[in-house]
Amino acid sequence: MNFENYVIENDLGAIESDWTFKELTTIGCGGKIKTLYTPKSLEALQKAFRFINDHDLEYVILGNGSNILARDNDYLGIVISLRKMPASFEVMDNTLTCSAFYPTIKLAYELAKLEIGDLSFLGGIPGLLGGAIYNNSGAYKKEIKDVLLEVTYINSVGELKTIKNGACAFGYRRSVFHYFNSIIISATFKVEKLATLEILEKRQKQRQLTQPLECRSMGSIFKNNQLISAWKVIDALGMRGFQINGAAISAKHANFIINTGNARAADILSLIELIRKRSELEFGIKLTCEIAIV
Ligand SMILES: Cc1cc2nc3c(=O)[nH]c(=O)nc-3n(C[C@H](O)[C@H](O)[C@H](O)COP(=O)(O)OP(=O)(O)OC[C@H]3O[C@@H](n4cnc5c(N)ncnc54)[C@H](O)[C@@H]3O)c2cc1C
């Protein structure tokens, strides 16, 4: 039995074949998706993920698509979309338990209303919590690893497993989840009372001034080198504003590539490659991508 029939026969959610990555990623590029799977429930997702792994099927997990560049050709594997999964959070004593499908910006503001400040650094990161854990996302000198206690995920046989922070191998935009088949479903965090609404609003204004939030992008393209920020390298190459067809290096933030309207993934990849080659040739600096390329 193929995956599509398995999902339908077992009532595990919706299967659609009329989506493209353009509609499902913040950069707005990418080809058609042969199979978009939207799980009906956690139990359904567990069964479907087991089937995918048992049959060694190609798949990609999609949260809010804010850190993914999908190529222009049709994607023939399965895209597991988590955006419609039920999501909630709960605070008890000094512990926050939150679903991985909860939007991070909303979470930061909801917590601010409760005067819980520890996850306020997520206030400008437009993803779902699972993507933030997967990438150990961070801002303002704070990362997920600084506040997370435990993560629960679905393993390749569909079981729920919980691991502690120390087992997550967090690094710069990295976690253990990059290295094995798994879907993050929830996490707990240590939190404390702290008023942060004002700081969230101040930071948002600052982001609007310094980042092209009015354009389609994926956030920072390159990781910062230990010695120098990637935007400084790109600026030193004189590439701020440089454009290949519809893909442009933002004039506001040189480490952001924006889609000016009709960018193809190929234009963005050419721009990334050009920046990398020139950075290595002219400064001997190897830039590595922060984004996931599908
Ligand atoms: C304007 C803008 C500003 C940004 N600013 C920041 C910033 O300040 N700091 C920062 O760190 N990032 C930033 N980002 C990048 C991005 O928002 C983060 O990486 C975010 O955490 C990704 O979440 P997502 O749900 O969109 O993940 P996606 O883009 O959907 O996925 C990213 C990766 O995570 C995997 N993944 C997603 N969910 C799960 C899950 N539940 N289980 C297992 N794997 C999963 C995907 O397969 C993919 O490989 C910015 C992006 C934009 C567009």
Write the residue with the smallest CA distance to atom 21 of ligand 1.
Answer: 132
Task: Write out pLDDT tens, residues 218-274.
Answer: 999 999 988 899 999 999 999 999 999 999 999 999 999 999 999 999 999 999 999
Kindly state whether residue 205 falls inside one of the protein's structural domains.
no
pTM exceeding 0.85: yes
Q: Residue 207: inside a domain, yes or no?
A: no
Statement to judge: residues 73 and 127 lie in one domain: no
- Ligand 1 contact, 224 CB (< 6 A): no
Phi-psi region of 122 (alpha: psi -120 to 50; beta: other; left: phi over 0): alpha
Ligand 1 test: best mutation among 29, 64, 125, most atoms within 8 Å of CB? Answer: 125
Type of residue at 167: A
149, pLDDT greater than 90: yes
Q: Count CB-CB contacts under 10 A for residue 82.
A: 22
Catalytic residue among 99, 137, 173, 250: 173
pLDDT tens track for 18-70: 999 999 999 999 999 999 999 999 999 999 999 999 999 999 999 999 999 99
Q: Which residues contact 235 (CB under 8 A, 6 or more apart)?
A: 254
Of 49, 81, 113, the one marking the end of a domain is 81
**pLDDT at residue 151 above 90?**
yes
Which of 186, 217, 220, 279 is labelled catalytic? Answer: 220
% of residues, the chain, pLDDT over 90: 96
Same domain, 134 and 191: yes
Q: What is the mean pLDDT of residues 80-95?
A: 95
Shared-domain flag, residues 173 and 219: no
pLDDT at 225: 84
Domain count, the chain: 3
**Pair (112, 167) in one structural domain:** yes
SS3 track for the chain: CCHHHHHHHCCCEEEECCEEHHHHCCCCCCCEEEEEEEECCHHHHHHHHHHHHHCCCCEEEECCCCCEECCCCCEEEEEEECCCCCCCEEEECCEEEEECCCEHHHHHHHHHHCCECCCHHHHHCCCEHHHHHHHCCEECCEEHHHCEEEEEEECCCCCEEEEEHHHCCCECCECHHHCCCCEEEEEEEECCECCCHHHHHHHHHHHHHHCCCCCECCCECECCCCCCCHHHHHHHCCCCCCEECCEEECCCCCCEEEECCCCCHHHHHHHHHHHHHHHHHHHCCCCCECCEEC
Instruction: Tell me how far the alpha carbon of residue 100 lies from the centroid of ligand 1, in angstroms.
Output: 12
The pLDDT of 128-138, averaged and rounded, is 98
Q: What is the mean pLDDT of residues 162-179?
A: 97
User: Do 162 and 114 share a structural domain?
Assistant: yes
Q: Is 290 a catalytic site residue?
A: yes
CATH code, 238: 3.90.78.10
Q: How far is the CA of 9 from the centre of ligand 1 (A)?
A: 32
Q: Whose CA is nearest to atom 2 of ligand 1?
A: 219
Q: Are residues 77 and 101 in the same domain?
A: no
Nearest CA to ligand 1 atom 11: 137
Residues 133 and 67 in one domain: no
131 C-alpha to ligand 1 centroid (Å): 4
For residue 161, give the CATH number of its domain.
3.30.465.10
Q: Is 21 in the pocket of ligand 1 (CB under 6 A)?
A: no
How far does the centroid of ligand 1 lie from the alpha carbon of residue 68, in Å?
7
At residue 226, the pLDDT reads: 82
Give the residue from 81, 97, 112 where a domain finishes.
81
Q: Tell how far the Cα of 125 is from the centroid of ligand 1, in angstroms.
A: 8
Residues 167 and 64: their CA atoms lie apart, in Å, by: 25
- Per the domain annotation, does 202 fall within a domain? no
Domain encompassing residue 225:
213-293
Would residue 198 show up in a list of annotated catalytic residues for this protein? no
- Is 90 exceeded by the pLDDT of residue 201? yes
Looking at 17-31, 150-164, 193-207, which range is the least confident one? 193-207
44 and 66 assigned to the same domain: yes
User: What number does the ligand 1 atom closest to the CA of 143 have?
Assistant: 11
- 77 and 123 in a single domain? The answer is no
Known catalytic membership, residue 279: no
End position of a domain, from candidates 152, 173, 197: 197
Please check whether residue 206 lies inside any domain of the structure. Answer: no
